[in-house]
Amino acid sequence: MPVPVVYYIRHGETEWNAEGRLQGTQDIPLNELGRRQAAFAGSILADLLARDGRGGQLPEFVASPLRRARSTMELVRSTLKLPPGDYAVDDRLREIGYGQWEGSTLAQAEVSHPDLFAKRQAEKWTVPPPGGECYAEVHTRVSDWYRQLTADTVAVAHGGTGRALIVALGLETPESASDLLMEQGVVYVFGDGGLTKYS
């Protein structure tokens, strides 16, 4: 069976993104730039689906349950002239949990837990924030999600989830993926040829 293609979109910007705050599981809405980024990603996706000769056969659509991802998905689908709410939600695509650091900037997190912060900077894949998750845990749930795919899929989720997927597919190591930039307003295509970014 051919490997499913994943058209991966990180949610658009929120005010917490703009302020450099760790969002994790907090349900922060898109800001105006984020809404424009989501619509732009939808136009990129439309071009990619036309390029791939899909005609009337669309991929599956699935989003993280967090509002910023769902709003992005709905704007993407509206750009594609599809019913905005007609997509699946999968909790395995939620963002990495930052626990007690959610709402903090990195500088504030460092002040609150200096030793743990330093340890996590050195071993981000395996060291969780206080009360949060490490990337290895996110990798486990994202790998489980990917293994059950049976069709090409548009997934709208988060930066941390995207990093975990890149490692799950063997495209980066945990060390190289931990700080990898996952951009907003672009479409990442995971397929037989590896990973390609369209912006």
* Buried b or exposed e, range 176-185, using 16+ CB within 10 angstroms: ebbeeebebb
Q: SS3 of 151, please?
A: coil
C-beta separation of 151 from 85 below 8 A: no
**What does the alpha-carbon distance between residue 7 and residue 84 come to, in Å, rounded to a whole number?**
17
**What does the alpha-carbon distance between residue 36 and residue 122 come to, in Å, rounded to a whole number?**
35
> How far are the Cα atoms of 2, 7, 48, 80, 159 from residue 191, in angstroms, in the given order?
10, 9, 13, 21, 19
**What does the alpha-carbon distance between residue 184 and residue 106 come to, in Å, rounded to a whole number?**
20
Residues annotated as catalytic (active site), given as ranges: 11, 95
